[in-house]
Structure 1
Amino acid sequence: MPLSRNAKVLSTKQPRVSKANPTAENVNPEKEESCQTKRSLSSPQGGPKKRSAFGDLTNAHKNHVVSGKKEAVKVVLQKNHTAQGVARNNEINLQKSMKKTPPTEVPAESKEDPTPEKPVPEQVPAVEDIDKEQLGDPYANAEYAKEIFEYMREREEKFILPNYMEKQSDISRDMRAILVDWMVEVQENFELNHETLYLAVKLVDHYLVEVVSMRDKLQLIGCTAILIASKFEERYPPCVDDFLYICDDAYKREELIAMEISILTTLKFDINIPIPYRFLRRFAKCARASMETLTLARFLCEMTLQEYDYAQESPSKLAASCLLLALTMKNLGGWTPTLEYYSGYRAQDLHPLVKRLNFLLTYQPRDKLKAVRTKYSHRVFFEVAKAMPMDMLKLEEILKSC
């Protein structure tokens, strides 16, 4: 079922253009991440340039003065200027007179009865405003970033996955892992956004919650889920013929379209499902993490896509745990007050999941499925897949000190 890594994909799409990230991000990671959307080192980088006309348009009215009111405006300005000059002269004279007047001695009684000092309030750890640097960027949505992620946190509760494998008689966890491994290769071959991959896996899981499927239709479900996610996330999604080709013509066009209708109607067209990848980029910005540290956290997060045990975890909690483990592996400190404020999680809340992630990195349960490891072993991704996991006892000591 998975494509060979050297296989070429015929595509009838238009040539891709670089994508601009809609969410608020650090400047440096955002520039570096644009080169990671494609495997090729010669891919286009960066997004469209900002137009200075946005500032000109908003200030245009200040350059126009109504001809009939020019003289009146000048008179008012002269009056205001005169009044300000008088006030300024009075202030200067008052200061001169105060300098000439000798200071009066304070009575002895007042010296003996000083006013009691007020208790100094305990200092609260400062929380950094991570969006203020991008308030002038029309592409960053910095004014609404906090509200957007609060809304996504609320939607998480609606999309909590139950243990749907109990009712799937013909599909197992291993089959799901093989499907996700294939979907990772499809994301690479089509050069799709990482958000598209995460959303497609979510669509597969939520569809299987409602529908009992046979194993011969599992690849069709995964393929159609990528098609739907591409329409939701991509500027130029692949066409139907591309998806028929990657399935080796195992399905007909009518079957693919019918499955698309089935998935959308089953999910009631509510496919704006929160994914951990979006939270991860937000939290990495709170930590001022470098692109290499963020990529390591992304590798940890993508490793969990194949594991059914992590499908039921909250996306925001999973993202926060991946970042905390990456920070610990890089020896970059623990969970800061800013991270706690924006994520909503204390460090103690993440410790159990962090230990599980390190265990997953240490003992790979699926040695034959190497799509994620091969992908993040590339130098474009800083070869983070080659990073050594932490010793469990040492990790335990570090987490206790946080």
Structure 2
Amino acid sequence: MDTQAVVPPQPRGNGKVHGEAPRRNQRVALEDRTNFEAGQVEIEGKITRRITRSFHAQLLANAQKNNGNPVLVPGVVDKAAKNRNDAPAKKVTKKAADEDVNVVSSDEEKEKPVNRGKPVQGSRKEVKTLTSILTARSKAMACGDTNKLKEQIVDFDAADVNDELAVVEYVDELYKFYKLEEDDCRVGDYMDTQPDINSKMRSILIDWLIDVHRKFELMPETFYLTVNIIDRFLSRRMVTRRELQLVGISSMVIASKYEEVWAPQVNDFVCLSDYAYTGNQIRVMEKAILQKLEWYLTVPTPYVFLARYIKASISPDDEMKNMVYFLAELGVLDYQTTIRHSPSMIAAAAVYAAHCTLNKRPFWTETLKHHTGYSEEQLRECAKVLVGFHSKAGESDLKALFKKYTKPEYGAVARRTPAKIC
């Protein structure tokens, strides 16, 4: 004889039944009940044990291990499974899936709502691991450090916005281009291809040209371009010892015509060379140099970077500028330093060594690092070399550069105590 599940009486009026407290969300799915007794389930045509709360949880756990097969909630018949072959399955809405259904258990067991749409999970709360906490803090600190670095980079071009010659709108792109082009304009070790001259002769020539440059009161750009022209020409053509000074004079003539408003005359260079060469010889060598260099004279010399890096030092005084130029000229005077390091490296190292020599703290700032592209560690080796030249400048046989920077108009920076860079 068929039996029906006993439905607990529903609360009326004030929601109480025989003095019991009202129950929330209590609903009995009568339409899903079968002819079994409450709390019983049919498995293979047999009525099995009553469904307690622990047995119900065990059934759910076994069903979840069964690769996601449909779970038969104890006490409820799966109509969709029953009618799967008879009619198409109806779409189950999220609201129906999330409804709470009460499972009727024994009198000793308390009723517990079961969510049909979600698997039974433990009551363990979400706990943040130490790794996740440290990772979050590291990201926060990294963002904070980035913002801090941006604040430390000073926009020293803001004062020149109204100066058309400063080309503030293009200056960053210009120096990015210079950094790319400086490698193409550098020369390799060419002394092996010059059988009649050596690096010592080159240094003597450059030291003499420093004196000539000062007597003519030429611009600094002219000196650095002269050295660049000499090195590029010697890397492409062999010259004799007798022609080396002629190459230097002709290179300065070319550089003066390129950089100066009023360039010295060829006869002036003839007089300074003690008439060792004629004016015609200088013009012939000038033409040979231009042909060999293919008239390519717009090159990023160390001075191009010196002007920018000194400005990045934020309000440098005259002593600071003179010290930077002194150290940079010591660098281009030496053949190995010129070959080994790029023009931007020599310029940045000169600025760093000048800060150390004059004790201008901090020696290297985030602004300088941003605009030069070099860190303090990258510059230390080249800066040590420049400081070493400074310490030996007074005892060297090449006196022109040392005498120049002992003059009052250059602040006598050559007499300052050299820095100690570890």
Q: TM-score with structure 1 length normalisation?
A: 0.66
* Residue in structure 1 matching 2:144, options 105, 119, 122: 122
Instruction: Report deviation, 1:152.
Output: 1.2
Aligned to 1:180: 206
Instruction: Look up the equivalent residue of 1:221 and give its one-letter code.
Output: V
Query: How many aligned residue pairs are there?
Result: 276
Greater mean deviation of Cα atoms: 229-238 or 143-152: 143-152
Map residues 247-266 of structure 1 onto 2, 5 A cutoff.
Answer: 247-266=273-292
Conservation of the 8 A alpha-carbon contact between 2:330 and 2:386: no
Aligned to 2:157: 131
**Closer/same/farther in 2, CA of residues 119 and 173 from structure 1, 3 Å limit:** closer
Aligned to 2:381: 352
Q: Sequence identity of aligned pairs in percent?
A: 33
Q: Tell me whether 1:387 sits opposite 2:409 in the alignment.
A: no
* Residue in structure 2 matching 1:295, options 322, 325, 342: 322
Aligned to 1:314: 342
When Rg is computed on C-alpha atoms for both structures, the one with the higher figure is 2
Instruction: Look up the equivalent residue of 2:332 and give its one-letter code.
Output: L
Q: Distance in 2 between matches of 1:180 and 1:235?
A: 23
Instruction: Report deviation, 1:177.
Output: 1.2
**Closer/same/farther in 2, CA of residues 171 and 133 from structure 1, 3 Å limit:** same
**Closer/same/farther in 2, CA of residues 317 and 264 from structure 1, 3 Å limit:** same
* Residue in structure 1 matching 2:263, options 237, 242, 249: 237
**Closer/same/farther in 2, CA of residues 283 and 119 from structure 1, 3 Å limit:** closer
SS at structure 1 position matched to 2:180: helix
Aligned to 1:213: 239
Map residues 27-42 of structure 1 onto 2, 5 A cutoff.
Answer: none
Q: Distance in 2 between matches of 1:148 and 1:245?
A: 39
**Closer/same/farther in 2, CA of residues 259 and 119 from structure 1, 3 Å limit:** closer
Instruction: Spell out, residue by residue over 1:139-158, the C-alpha distance to the aligned partner (whole angstroms, 9 max, x if none).
Output: 22222221221111111010
Q: Distance in 2 between matches of 1:287 and 1:234?
A: 27
Q: Tell me whether 1:170 sits opposite 2:196 in the alignment.
A: yes
Q: Distance in 2 between matches of 1:254 and 1:375?
A: 31
Q: Distance in 2 between matches of 1:363 and 1:254?
A: 39
SS at structure 2 position matched to 1:139: helix
Aligned to 2:310: 284
Q: Distance in 1 between matches of 2:284 and 2:342?
A: 31
Q: Distance in 2 between matches of 1:202 and 1:365?
A: 26
Instruction: Look up the equivalent residue of 1:204 and give its one-letter code.
Output: I
Q: Tell me whether 1:269 sits opposite 2:295 in the alignment.
A: yes
More helix by share: 1
Q: Distance in 2 between matches of 1:119 and 1:212?
A: 61
Aligned to 2:57: none
Instruction: Report deviation, 1:162.
Output: 0.8
Greater mean deviation of Cα atoms: 235-244 or 375-384: 235-244
**Closer/same/farther in 2, CA of residues 128 and 165 from structure 1, 3 Å limit:** same
Instruction: Look up the equivalent residue of 2:221 and give its one-letter code.
Output: E
**Closer/same/farther in 2, CA of residues 155 and 334 from structure 1, 3 Å limit:** same
Instruction: Report deviation, 1:337.
Output: 1.1
Q: Tell me whether 1:324 sits opposite 2:352 in the alignment.
A: yes
Q: Distance in 1 between matches of 2:419 and 2:242?
A: 40
Conservation of the 8 A alpha-carbon contact between 1:131 and 1:143: no
Instruction: Spell out, residue by residue over 1:280-304, the C-alpha distance to the aligned partner (whole angstroms, 9 max, x if none).
Output: 1211111112221121111011112
Instruction: Spell out, residue by residue over 1:170-204, the C-alpha distance to the aligned partner (whole angstroms, 9 max, x if none).
Output: 11112111111110111011110111011101111
SS at structure 2 position matched to 1:245: helix
Q: Distance in 1 between matches of 2:297 and 2:388?
A: 32
Q: TM-score with structure 2 length normalisation?
A: 0.63
Instruction: Look up the equivalent residue of 2:324 and give its one-letter code.
Output: A
Q: Distance in 2 between matches of 1:254 and 1:323?
A: 41
Aligned to 1:203: 229
**Closer/same/farther in 2, CA of residues 119 and 212 from structure 1, 3 Å limit:** closer
Instruction: Report deviation, 1:220.
Output: 0.7
Q: Distance in 2 between matches of 1:234 and 1:355?
A: 33
Aligned to 2:369: 340
Q: Tell me whether 1:305 sits opposite 2:327 in the alignment.
A: no
Instruction: Spell out, residue by residue over 1:327-354, the C-alpha distance to the aligned partner (whole angstroms, 9 max, x if none).
Output: 1122221221111111111111111111
Conservation of the 8 A alpha-carbon contact between 1:281 and 1:294: no
Instruction: Report deviation, 1:119.
Output: 6.0
Aligned to 2:84: none
Map residues 73-112 of structure 1 onto 2, 5 A cutoff.
Answer: none
Structure 2: runs of 5 or more not aligned: 1-138
Instruction: Look up the equivalent residue of 2:256 and give its one-letter code.
Output: S
Higher relative contact order (CA 8 A, sep 6+): 1
Instruction: Report deviation, 1:250.
Output: 1.8
Instruction: Look up the equivalent residue of 2:390 and give its one-letter code.
Output: L
Q: Distance in 1 between matches of 2:351 and 2:376?
A: 11
Map residues 49-64 of structure 1 onto 2, 5 A cutoff.
Answer: none
Instruction: Look up the equivalent residue of 1:290 and give its one-letter code.
Output: D
Structure 1: runs of 5 or more not aligned: 1-117, 397-402
